[in-house]
Every structure is written in structure tokens, then in C-alpha cells.
Amino acid sequence: MFDLIAFDADDTLWHNERLYLATASQFREMLSPYHSAEWIEERLNATEAKNLQHFGYGVKGFVLSMIETAIELTEGRISGAEILRILKWGREMLCAPIELLEGVRETVEDLARDRRLMLLTKGDLFDQENKLARSGLSHCFSAIEVVAEKTALTYRTILTRHGVRAEHFLMVGNSLRSDILPVLELGGTAIHIPYATTWVHDRVSAEELAGKEFVQLAEIREIAAWLRSRKPAVDDLDGR
């Protein structure tokens, strides 16, 4: 039924967003003598959004956005020691242990036994390859694609390269904006597994979801049962 099943990485296979939330909290505390927590958060989000086209997704772009925001909000009074602290937070994020979500290892390893799996994720190539290696899941994927952005064109290019038709492609991920909507636009199938928190730049309005048909599961362990439910009955295969 599906020639290729692709999985997003961050917050689909392993925890990621909570590292950013914890670091952003430290950042707000650092700048608390200058501004309110709400204003610091708003300006950091705006700076990140502006910088995505320049630095892309991932820890490195986040660190650069924190430094830029700190300089702007302190009117240049941020100290060298404080900038070094921000850089240290970034290194800690990059070296943080990989913690798989519940049910990920057994589900992915089980599917990999008789299905073609791909890791398809956004972000920094070095960082994502490093996280995959440390996750212990690299042997499960026949292909790895790390992209700057997940658009319909991105997916179309990848499917063409791997010789897969959109109607035979399944994408699994936590981001409606990146993992679901572009795949539906191509005519593929998408499974949304929500994460506990959603990054502000990944949020999707009700209007954007209107009329879109996709599967939503509570956890990754439900995928195997859903796939079994999609198999045609024996009588259907016999033409009866």
C-alpha cells in the first residue's frame, strides 16, 4: 500500500522542543533587568522568524537569534560574559542526550523489518545526522533526507529522486505545517502525532486545516494497528 514511510525526527522520534523552551527561559531570566518576560519572548520569536531565511532551523540559528535579540533589547549593553553564556547554552543543547519518545524504538524497528523507511527532517545537517547516530535508530532507515524547508516542492523532489509516487507515500510527524499540509497537497497520506508543545512558528490556523483529511494518532505505537486496518481483505484480493 505504501512504498515509502517517512518519519520526521524532532518531537516525532525524540524530544527536542523542550530543550528550546528551557533555554528560552534562561534567556528571559538573563534579560529580566531590562524588559518583561513577555516582551523578551515576543522579540525573540520575531527575530527567529526573520532569521529563518538566513540561518535555517536548528540550535545554531536559535543561538544567533538570542544574541541578536540580547544586543537589541539591552541597546548594546549585553556583556561579553553574557554572550559567552548564550553560546554555552547552545553547546549544551547540541550535546544533550537523545531521549526517544515512548514507543518509538519498538515501533520503528518493527516497521523496518518489512517496510522501506526514510528519515525526513528539517534542520542543520551535522546536528541531525549526529542526533540520528546517537539515537540508535540509524539502522532502521534506508534513506535520510535533511532539508532546509518542508514544502510541497521539497517533497515532490524527494519522491521523484526515490522513485515513489505521492499516492504510495506516507509521512509521519508532529508538525501540521511541515509534515502534514505539504504532503496532502501532493496527494500523499499523512499521520499527525501531536507533541506536548508546538513551536510558535509551526502553528496552523483552523482556516488552513479546513477540508484537509489526514490521520491523527495519540502516539507512535498506534501506527502498526492503523496500517493493519488499511490492508485489503483476502476476499477483496480474490475479487469476491
Residue 178 shares a structural domain with residue 78? no
> How many Cβ atoms from other residues are within 10 Å of residue 115's Cβ?
16
What confidence score (pLDDT) does residue 232 get?
Answer: 58
pLDDT at residue 144 in the model = 96
Q: How buried is 222 (Cβ within 10 angstroms: 0-12 exposed, 13-18 middle, 19+ buried)?
A: middle
φ/ψ (deg, to 5) at 121 = -140, 160
Reported pTM: 0.89
The pLDDT of residue 230 is 83
Is-contact 35 49, C-beta < 8 A? no
Domain with 219 in it: what CATH number? 3.40.50.1000
Query: Does residue 128 share a domain with residue 224?
Result: yes
Residues 188 and 170 both lie in one domain: yes
Q: Specify whether 60 is located in the same domain as 110.
A: no
206 shares a domain with 105 = yes
Name the DSSP letter for residue 191.
E
Domain assignment of residue 46, given as a range: 17-95
Residues in the chain predicted with pLDDT less than 50, given as ranges, are: 233-240
Residues 145 and 218 in one domain: yes
pLDDT at position 35 is 97
Domain boundary among 64, 95, 126: 95
Q: Which pLDDT score, from 0 to 100, does residue 81 have? A: 97
Buried (b) or exposed (e) across 187-198, using 16+ Cβ within 10 A? Answer: ebbbbbbebeeb
Per the structure, how many domains does the chain have?
2
Cβ-proximal residues to 75 (8 Å cutoff; 6+ apart), any chain: none
Whether residue 59 is found in the same domain as residue 149: no
